[in-house]
Amino acid sequence: MKEAHDNQNFIHFVDKIGYDIGQDMVKNIDVIFQKSFDFLPDFGMFIASYVVKHSFTRQTTAPSSIQDCICFFFKNVFHDESRNRKNKTRIIQEKPVVRVFPSTHTHISYFKKGSCRQIVSVFINATYLKSFLKEDAVQFQFLFDKDNIFLIEEIMTDDILRIVNDLATRKEPAILKDYHYKLKTLELLFYLFQSLSNRSQSVRQKLNEQDIRSIYKMRDQLVSSLQKPIPIAKLKQIAGMNELKMRKLFVQIFGMGIYDYFQHFRMKEAARLLREEGLSVSEAGYQMGFENLSHFSRVFAKHIGKTPKRYSTEL
């Protein structure tokens, strides 16, 4: 286990596990904070916070030192106070996301100038992971099909957020540091798999890059305006596919239907308005496009777990 605050230590670790981040990333990010460790050849993990100095793209791959690897990326899910350092550069905070994909899947990632990213990345050997799941592995068999290209994006849960923040921000123990971080990483995966277990066990289609890009393009448009849902006919046009395929692939990647996904992000934004902007329940409801506040309260309670009035009061 080691801790560092500069690009060289970050580069040293990714080189050690065979994770090719590319020269563009080396030149165009400013690493603010980093922790990393490895238990090769079973798994490795790094935590980093960095600011993008210049926009660039890169092809995301898996580390070569971990065979048959499954990648878990927890992005923008911990609070990094160091990003508030004295810096006149305008910082763009990106939305939280959890993504899971196999080592066989590569995709293009875009890094926007001025964006600040906090990331916890776990790279784990599929057989090693399966040994923990035991009889439950059958529920997640699609993860272990070597010929299957999959991409999963999961909603953040409170337990995932808590463990990620423990990993990133809590003071490390004076003794047994490696053991501590190994257990914490497995605990993080436990809560993620607990969340994944709620997904339907429908037949999964093999994905190709074009389908993935199309579904994400449609998703981005869907959540670009949370006051009013975009008609399905328009979403079909954006995705460039028929409605049945679009709905199936959306559920396969995001774990819920299009409308439920839209409502979830809508309620997350409503909660933010109550929490950070200090809006009243009625103001938050109206700003999110609800004319009936009783309906707003029911939808809010379904997705947040409590009514907006109670949520606001407990703040």
Are the beta carbons of 253 and 153 closer than 8 angstroms? Answer: yes
My answer on whether 113 and 181 are in the same domain is yes
Q: Does residue 180 form part of some domain?
A: yes
My answer on whether 183 and 211 are in the same domain is no
My answer on whether 186 and 313 are in the same domain is no
Which pLDDT value is given to residue 72? 94
State which residues form the domain around 7: 2-196
Q: Does residue 179 form part of some domain?
A: yes
Residue type, 245: K
Which pLDDT value is given to residue 131? 93
Which pLDDT value is given to residue 122? 94
Provide Rg for the chain, Cα atoms: 20
Which pLDDT value is given to residue 17? 83
My answer on whether 49 and 103 are in the same domain is yes
User: Do the strands 43-52 and 115-125 form a parallel or antiparallel pair, or are they unpaired?
Assistant: antiparallel
My answer on whether 191 and 224 are in the same domain is no
H, E, C per residue of the chain: CEEECCHHHHHHHHHHCCCCCCHHHHHHEEEEEEEEEEECCCEEEEEEEEEECCCEEEEECCCCCCCCEEEEEEECCCCCHHHHCCCCCCCEECCCEEEEEECCCCEEEEECCCEEEEEEEEEEEHHHHHHHHHHHHHHHHHHHCCCCCCCEEECCCHHHHHHHHHHHHCCCCCCCHHHHHHHHHHHHHHHHHHHHCCCCCCCCCCCCHHHHHHHHHHHHHHCCCCCCCCCHHHHHHHHCCCHHHHHHHHHHHHCCCHHHHHHHHHHHHHHHHHHHCCCCHHHHHHHCCCCCHHHHHHHHHHHHCCCHHHHHHHC
Strand partners, 138: none
My answer on whether 179 and 141 are in the same domain is yes
Q: Does residue 19 form part of some domain?
A: yes
Q: Does residue 245 form part of some domain?
A: yes
What CATH number did the domain enclosing 306 receive? Answer: 1.10.10.60
Q: Which of 157, 149, 146, 165 is nearest to 193 (CA)?
A: 157
My answer on whether 93 and 44 are in the same domain is yes
Long-range contacts made by residues 275-279, C-beta under 8 angstroms, separation at least 24? 275/315
Q: Does residue 202 form part of some domain?
A: no
My answer on whether 306 and 182 are in the same domain is no
Which pLDDT value is given to residue 6? 55
My answer on whether 49 and 172 are in the same domain is yes
What CATH number did the domain enclosing 59 receive? Answer: 2.60.120
Domain boundary among 151, 170, 196: 196
Strand partners, 71: 101, 123
My answer on whether 181 and 314 are in the same domain is no
Q: How many CB atoms lie within 10 A of CB 1?
A: 14
Provide the domain count of the chain: 3
My answer on whether 294 and 156 are in the same domain is no
My answer on whether 261 and 234 are in the same domain is no
Q: Does residue 201 form part of some domain?
A: no
Residue by residue, pLDDT tens for the chain (315 residues) are 433 445 677 777 878 888 877 777 878 888 888 888 888 899 999 898 888 988 988 887 778 889 889 999 998 877 655 444 434 444 445 667 899 998 888 777 888 888 888 889 999 999 999 999 999 998 888 888 877 778 899 988 889 989 998 888 888 889 999 999 999 999 999 999 999 988 876 667 778 888 999 999 999 999 988 998 899 999 999 999 999 999 999 999 999 999 999 999 999 999 999 998 999 999 999 999 999 999 999 999 999 999 999 998 887
Which pLDDT value is given to residue 297? 95
Q: Does residue 84 form part of some domain?
A: yes
